[in-house]
C-alpha cells in the first residue's frame, strides 16, 4: 500500500479530471488535470536533478497556483517540502538553509541574488525562481519534463514537510510532519467540517503557513471540491467572491475587516454554509458582531505546526465564542499540572495532546523533542487552557509567552535579542497585547541608558531592518526597570496588564 499523501489525493480526484480545481482573482482557471500534469512535471524535474526520497526542497515564493503545485509535486516525488514565510529576511533564511540543508531552493526573482549567496554558503546546489504569476526559471526548466510521473511509494512515517517554529529561547525548530500526519488530519477535517465535491472554498490565506497550505487546501483536495484562489485578502474582493462560495477560512483579521465593510450583509453571505477562523484568538466581540450582522456563527478551531488541527467547534451543534470547541476525532487532549498529572474540568493547566496528527519530532533535535513529551507519551503544546463543564476547550494563554499577531507566531526572545543590540539599550521585554485587528499586537518595553537619546521610531526602524514586518513592535515603551519576581525573572504578566490598558 502506498501511504504517500499525494496518492490519497489522487484517489479522491473527480473521475472527470477536467473538473475545476481553482480560479484566481483574475479569472484564470486550473483543473484537476492541470494539477496532475504540473505535479508530474515538477516531480520529474526535481528527481531529475538527483534529489532522492526525503531530500528537502525550500520555497520562499509568492502565492500562486504553481506554488501549490510545487508543494504537491514534492510530495508526489517523495521529497520533503520546506515552506518559508515571504517576510523572512537574510539572517532568518540563512539559518533555515544551514539547518535543513535542502537540495534545492525556489525563491522570488527579486530575492534571487541574496538567496544564491546564502545557498552557496549552505552548500545548496540548486536555486530557481518562481514569481506570483507562476513564471520563473523553475517553471521554465520544468516545462520540458514529462507530464506523467509514477507517484513515489512511501511509508506512513516518511517525511512530507518541515515547518519551522520557535520557542522563546534559542533558534527556530523544524517540526517534522509525516505523510501519516497529513492524511490523518486532512481526513478528519474533511469529515468533521462536512466538505464535499459541491463545496467552493474562498482561499485568501498564504501558502507558507499550515492554515493555508495544509488545512485549507487539503480539505478541498480530499473532497474533489474547488476554490476561489486570491493571492491576498481584500475585503471588497472577498465580498464579490463570497456569493460564488460555500466555505471561507480566515484569520480573525479577515473577519474584523469584513465587519468594517458596508457590503457585509446576510444577502452577501447567502450561499455560504461555513465560516472558519483560526491561527489567532478570535475576540468574543468579533464573534458576536459577525453573528448579528450575517446571521451566521463563526466556527473557531485550534491547532499548531506540530499537530495540524487539534480541536474544533462543531459543524452541527453549539459553537461557543471564546472557545475552540472539542478535541477532534482521533485526537486526545488533556489539561495537566506542572507534574503532568491530568486536571479536572474548570481547572487551568498545560494543554497536552497525542494522536496520528502529531509530528515526528524536531529536525535534528532529539533531545529537544524528548523534552517536549511527557513520560507517558503526551506532547506539551506550551499552551495553557482548560475544559469547561460542557467539554469545550478554552485556550487562556501560552506558557512560553508566544505572541500571535495577524495569525503569525512571534517569539519574543528573537525580537529582544535584536533590540538589545541597539546602543543605549540596557534590556528589553517583548509582549503581546490585545488588538481588535491582529488579535495581539507586538509591544516592546525597553530600559535604556539615562544618557541615551533613543526614540520609539529608532527602535522600530532597527527591528524592521533585521526581522520580518509581522515581528516589528507596534509600540515601544521606555521604563526605568522591568518588574521581576524573587528569582529575578521578568514578570511579563504585569507588563501585559499594564500595557493592555495603554492607547
Residue 486, pLDDT score: 44
User: Across residues 456-463, what is the average pLDDT?
Assistant: 95
Mean pLDDT of the chain: 94
Predicted local confidence at residue 167, as pLDDT = 44
Report the CATH number at residue 43: 3.40.50.980
Q: Provide the pLDDT confidence category of residue 168 given band limits of 50, 70 and 90.
A: very low
Residue 468 cell numbers, joined: 520580518
The strand pairing partners of 490, in sequence order, are: 484
Rounded to 10 degrees, what is the CA torsion of 308, 211, 303, 75? 10
Q: Is residue 33 domain-shared with residue 171, that is, in the same domain?
A: yes
Alpha-carbon gap, residue 252 to 281, rounded angstroms: 7
Of the three residues 345, 367, 398, the one that is the final residue of a domain is: 398
Among 374, 398, 422, identify where a domain stops: 398
| pLDDT tens-digit map of 267-297 | 999 999 999 999 878 888 889 999 999 999 9
Q: Are residue 110 and residue 161 in the same domain, yes or no? A: yes
Q: Which of 126, 155, 178 is at the close of a domain?
A: 178
The whole-number pLDDT of residue 503 equals 59
- To the nearest 10 degrees (0 to 180), the angle between helices 252-259 and 284-294 is 50
State pLDDT tens for residues 380-421. Answer: 999 888 999 999 999 876 666 778 888 887 878 789 889 988
The CATH number covering residue 424 comes to 3.30.300.30
How confident is the model over 225-251, as pLDDT tens digits? 999 999 999 999 999 999 999 999 999
Residues across the chain: 503
427 bridge partner residues = 447
Does residue 481 sit in the same domain as residue 410?
A: yes
Contact 395, 302 (CB under 8 A): yes
Residues 393 and 454 in one domain: no
Do 37 and 134 sit in the same domain of this protein? yes
Q: Is residue 485 over pLDDT 70?
A: no
Model pLDDT, residue 487 = 41
In tens, the pLDDT along 307-355 reads 999 999 999 999 999 999 999 999 999 999 989 999 999 998 899 999 9
Verify that 408 and 347 share a domain, yes or no: no
What is the reported pLDDT for 197?
98
**Both 34 and 153 in a single domain?**
yes
pTM: 0.84
Same domain, 9 and 151: yes
The domain spanning residue 311 has which CATH number? Answer: 2.30.38.10
Name the domain count of the chain: 3
pLDDT confidence of residue 371: 95
Alpha carbon distance 459, 472 (integer Å): 9
The verdict on residue 247 lying in a domain is no
Tell me, what's the pLDDT at 493?
Answer: 84
- Residue 372's domain comprises 275-398
The model's confidence at residue 488, banded by pLDDT at 50, 70 and 90, is: low
Amino acid at each position: 500500500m502506498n501511504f504517500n499523501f499525494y496518492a490519497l489525493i489522487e484517489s479522491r480526484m473527480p473521475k472527470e479530471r477536467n473538473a475545476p480545481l481553482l480560479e484566481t482573482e483574475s479569472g484564470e482557471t486550473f483543473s484537476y488535470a492541470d494539477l496532475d500534469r504540473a505535479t508530474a512535471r515538477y516531480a520529474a524535474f526535481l528527481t531529475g536533478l538527483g534529489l532522492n526520497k526525503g531530500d528537502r526542497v525550500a520555497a520562499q515564493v509568492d502565492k500562486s497556483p504553481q506554488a501549490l503545485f510545487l508543494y504537491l509535486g514534492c510530495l508526489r516525488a517523495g521529497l520533503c517540502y520546506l515552506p518559508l514565510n515571504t517576510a523572512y529576511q537574510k539572517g532568518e533564511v540563512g539559518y533555515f538553509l544551514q539547518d535543513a540543508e535542502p537540495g534545492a531552493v525556489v525563491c522570488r526573482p527579486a530575492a534571487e541574488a541574496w538567496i544564491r549567496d546564502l545557498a552557496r554558503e549552505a552548500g545548496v546546489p540548486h536555486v530557481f525562481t518562481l514569481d506570483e504569476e507562476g513564471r520563473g526559471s523553475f517553471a521554465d526548466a520544468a516545462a520540458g519534463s514529462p507530464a506523467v510521473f509514477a507517484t513515489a511509494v512511501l511509508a506512513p512515517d516518511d517525511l512530507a514537510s518541515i515547518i519551522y517554529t520557535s520557542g522563546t529561547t534559542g533558534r527556530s525548530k523544524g517540526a517534522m510532519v509525516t505523510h501519516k500526519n497529513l492524511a490523518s488530519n486532512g481526513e478528519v477535517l474533511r469529515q468533521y467540517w462536512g466538505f464535499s465535491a459541491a463545496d467552493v472554498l474562498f482561499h485568501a490565506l498564504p501558502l507558507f503557513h499550515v492554515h493555508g497550505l495544509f488545512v485549507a487546501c487539503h480539505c478541498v483536495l480530499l473532497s474533489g471540491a474547488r476554490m476561489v484562489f486570491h493571492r491576498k485578502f481584500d475585503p471588497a474582493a472577498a465580498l464579490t467572491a463570497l456569493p460564488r462560495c460555500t466555505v471561507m477560512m480566515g484569520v480573525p483579521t479577515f473577519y474584523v475587516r469584513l465587519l468594517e465593510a458596508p457590503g457585509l450583509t446576510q444577502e452577501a453571505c447567502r450561499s455560504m454554509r461555513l465560516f472558519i477562523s483560526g491561527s489567532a484568538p478570535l475576540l468574543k466581540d468579533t464573534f458576536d458582531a459577525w453573528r448579528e450582522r450575517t446571521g451566521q456563527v463563526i466556527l473557531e478551531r485550534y491547532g499548531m505546526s506540530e499537530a495540524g488541527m487539534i480541536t474544533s467547534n462543531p459543524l452541527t451543534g453549539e459553537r461557543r465564542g471564546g472557545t475552540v470547541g472539542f478535541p477532534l476525532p482521533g485526537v486526545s487532549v488533556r489539561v495537566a499540572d506542572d507534574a503532568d498529572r491530568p486536571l479536572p474540568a474548570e481547572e487551568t493547566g498545560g494543554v497536552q495532546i497525542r494522536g496520528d496528527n502529531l509530528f515526528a519530532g524536531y529536525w535534528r533535535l532529539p533531545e529537544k523533542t524528548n523534552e517536549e513529551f511527557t513520560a507517558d507519551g503526551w506532547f506539551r503544546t506550551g499552551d495553557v487552557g482548560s475544559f469547561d463543564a460542557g467539554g469545550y476547550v478554552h485556550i487562556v494563554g501560552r506558557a512560553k509567552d508566544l505572541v500571535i499577531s495577524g495569525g503569525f507566531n512571534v517569539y519574543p526572545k528573537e525580537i529582544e535579542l535584536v533590540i538589545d543590540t541597539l546602543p543605549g539599550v540596557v534590556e528589553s521585554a517583548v509582549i503581546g497585547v490585545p488588538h481588535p485587528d491582529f488579535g495581539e499586537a507586538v509591544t516592546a518595553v525597553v530600559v535604556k541608558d539615562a544618557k541615551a537619546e533613543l526614540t520609539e521610531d529608532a527602535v522600530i526602524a532597527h527591528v524592521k531592518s533585521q526581522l520580518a514586518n509581522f515581528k516589528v513592535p507596534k509600540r515601544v515603551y521606555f521604563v526605568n526597570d522591568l518588574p521581576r519576581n524573587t528569582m529575578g525573572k521578568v514578570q511579563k504578566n504585569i507588563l501585559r496588564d499594564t500595557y493592555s490598558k495603554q492607547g
